[in-house]
């Protein structure tokens, strides 16, 4: 069994134009609109970065989970983190043993997945997916390799009222030990990827880290759109996007 890895990170917005804004800021290729998210009352845009993905979901119906998330949080924080595993059966068994509800499951020949209830796993929806073959990714759409741009997702920051407890809960599901990084910060090391749990006043997905061939250009485009920026990051739908030169 190999370590799970970050495969897709998701934003939620009430503004359909935010899909195009993300593409513009990060100079991404054409996005994929997944008709399958219609069952959740959403539309979306999925963008490939290397063999990983960024997604923006937008409610198009009333009383959707994403709409309730935006109302509850004021739109601050990431909506979902999707991890790839080669042992989804083990993940499901551990989640069930921990009484973490699975709010959606799918089993296909090319991919299987389970969404874990955010109230049980904590901080956001966590999806664990097993793709067949391993390098494929149904959610990216049929042309994602042609539309991919250089870069990678390297780290997910999770703010938590109890970082140790939350990191241990996620770690038990992912079968990765929680490690102290000092200053009340705890980490799960997923090979080349890290999930960092940091203290705060509520539990939420607070930061996405990625490499990009032109961080300065991204920040200039973010500023032109009126997004909050600093030396190496911009804020998009309440998520701090930290950039490192690829």
Rounded Cα–Cα distance for residues 235 and 147 (Å)? 24
pLDDT by residue (tens digit) across 77-99?
A: 999 999 999 999 999 999 999 99
pLDDT by residue (tens digit) across 40-61?
A: 999 999 999 999 999 999 999 9
| Residue 30 DSSP code | -
Q: How confident is the model at residue 196 (pLDDT cuts 50, 70, 90)?
A: very high
Sign of the torsion angle spanned by Cα atoms 48, 52, 56, 59: positive
Residue 2's pLDDT is: 86
Share of the chain above pLDDT 70, in %: 100
Domains and CATH numbers, the chain: 5-147 (3.10.180.10), 152-245 (3.10.180.10)
pLDDT by residue (tens digit) across 204-214?
A: 999 999 999 99
143 Cβ partners below 8 Å, 6+ apart?
30, 32
How far lies 65's CA from each of 13, 40, 44, 179, 213, in Å? 12, 8, 14, 32, 35
Segment 135-157 shows an average pLDDT of 97
- Mean confidence (pLDDT) of the chain: 97
| DSSP H or E stretch at residue 73 | helix 65-73
How far lies 30's CA from each of 90, 94, 142, 216, in Å? 35, 37, 12, 21
97 Cβ partners below 8 Å, 6+ apart?
none
Residue 214's pLDDT is: 97
Residue 1's pLDDT is: 63
Tell whether pTM > 0.95: yes
Segment 166-179 shows an average pLDDT of 98
């Amino acid at each position: 069994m190999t370590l799970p890895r970050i495969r897709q990170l998701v934003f939620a917005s009430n503004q359909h134009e935010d899909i195009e804004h993300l593409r513009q800021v990060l100079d991404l290729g054409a996005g994929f609109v997944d008709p399958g998210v219609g069952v959740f009352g959403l539309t979306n845009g999925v963008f490939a970065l290397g063999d990983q993905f960024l997604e923006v979901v937008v409610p198009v119906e009333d009383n959707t989970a994403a709409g309730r998330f935006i109302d509850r949080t004021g739109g601050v924080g990431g909506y979902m983190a999707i991890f790839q595993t080669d042992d989804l059966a083990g993940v499901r068994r551990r989640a069930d043993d921990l009484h973490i509800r699975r709010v959606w499951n799918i089993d296909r020949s090319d991919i299987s997945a389970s969404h874990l209830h955010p109230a049980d796993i904590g901080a956001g929806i966590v999806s664990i997916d097993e793709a067949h073959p391993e390098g494929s990714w149904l959610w990216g759409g049929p042309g994602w390799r042609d539309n991919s741009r250089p870069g990678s997702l390297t780290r997910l920051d999770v703010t938590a009222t109890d970082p140790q407890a939350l990191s241990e809960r996620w770690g038990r599901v992912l079968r990765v030990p929680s490690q102290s990084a000092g200053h009340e910060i705890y980490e799960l090391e997923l090979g080349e990827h890290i999930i960092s749990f940091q203290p705060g006043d509520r539990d939420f997905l607070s930061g996405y880290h990625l490499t990009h061939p032109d961080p300065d250009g991204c920040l200039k485009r973010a500023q032109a759109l009126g997004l909050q920026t600093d030396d190496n990051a911009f804020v998009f739908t309440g998520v701090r996007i930290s950039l490192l030169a690829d």
